[in-house]
Amino acid sequence: MEYLDSDSVRLSEDDSAVIIIDQTLLPLRTEYKYLRTAEEIFEAIKNLRVRGAPAIGICAGYGMFILSRGIISEDIKTFTEELKNIGKYLCSARPTAVNLPAAVKRMISAAERNKDLSVNELREILKITAENIHKEDIEMCRKISEYGLSLVKSGDGILTHCNAGPLATSRYGTGLGTLFLGKERGYEFHVYADETRPLLQGARLTAYELDKAGIDVTLVCDNMAASLMRSGKIQAVFVGCDRVAANGDTANKIGTSGAAIIAKHYGVPFYVFCPSTTIDFSCGSGGEIPIEFRDGGEIRTMFFKEPVAPDVKCYNPSFDVTDSELITAIVTEKGICRPPYKENLEKLFGN
């Protein structure tokens, strides 16, 4: 499909900027932003102009490269220290998605492994590393989509939460990749997209992506999932995630855990789609995953001309943790992992 042929994050031809689709403006306007400074990259990640764990990682990789071009020192040790400071700053933009610190760590490791090279040669290594992060994500998304297709059949009703398509990743996406690949192969799905409060990624982004690709999509409020499942309209729930703990607990956009509990009650399979870059074996369980809390104004005022609630305190965690016992399977580029997750994730990834 033509829609899948472009990237939501990419490097400019002259290596001077990271180019992103500004997701805060979708679906009404499609605008590209050129990020050239550390502050611009930080702001884009912090304010969700670029979002989705894999896309954030790709943005950070390219960002580290273009910012390395602004490091003046020709001393490798000084160059590497400044690169680490840049990475630390970018990582502070958002805490939950593991892809952000993982991409930064990979870029720094590439610099440290090649400390015998000149600074110019090192910059070229950083560019190649960032490009590899991007290329690998494209390939992982394709494989994840293939495995996901074995879990469903044409005609199935699928519930999604948040956004895990090409905008959040590369090309096919994770949680939505199976739907795009299925469409290419003649499958007909009936997709119900949760609006996903309070930032409406499901309404603004998932519904937009699926409709643009010609996939049958119906937008629903977050609190309609139980009604849909009880009526038999949903045969599977597809979600992406921002971090998977070693025991299979997953962090995803707030509301995911509730959808998983409802699915368990009604006997609907609940599938989490993620590349291996999102699995954090250093994190034992979901209780160790740092949860981002955002401004309460997103609940009271965002997308409204006037506040829709009085000026009271707001509780606004950006993510929740879905306990592993609620997850039917975790779909990765290396295969479909089922419980017990701690043992089977380690077997699948050779840890």
For the annotated catalytic residues, the residue numbers are 242
Give the chain's radius of gyration (CA, Å). Answer: 20
Q: What's the number of CA atoms in the CB half-sphere (13 Å) around residue 8?
A: 34
Question: What angle is formed at CA 347 by the lines to CA 343 and CA 351, rounded to 5 degrees?
Answer: 95
Beta strands 319-322 and 250-253 are: antiparallel
Cis, bond preceding 340 (omega within 30 deg of 0) = yes
Nearest C-alpha neighbor of 71 from the set 59, 61, 86, 58:
86
- Cα end-to-end distance, the chain, whole Å: 37
* Helix ranges restricted to H, the chain: 38-46, 53-68, 76-91, 99-113, 119-149, 177-184, 201, 207-212, 225-230, 256-266, 297-300, 341-349
Beta strands 9-11 and 329-332 are: unpaired
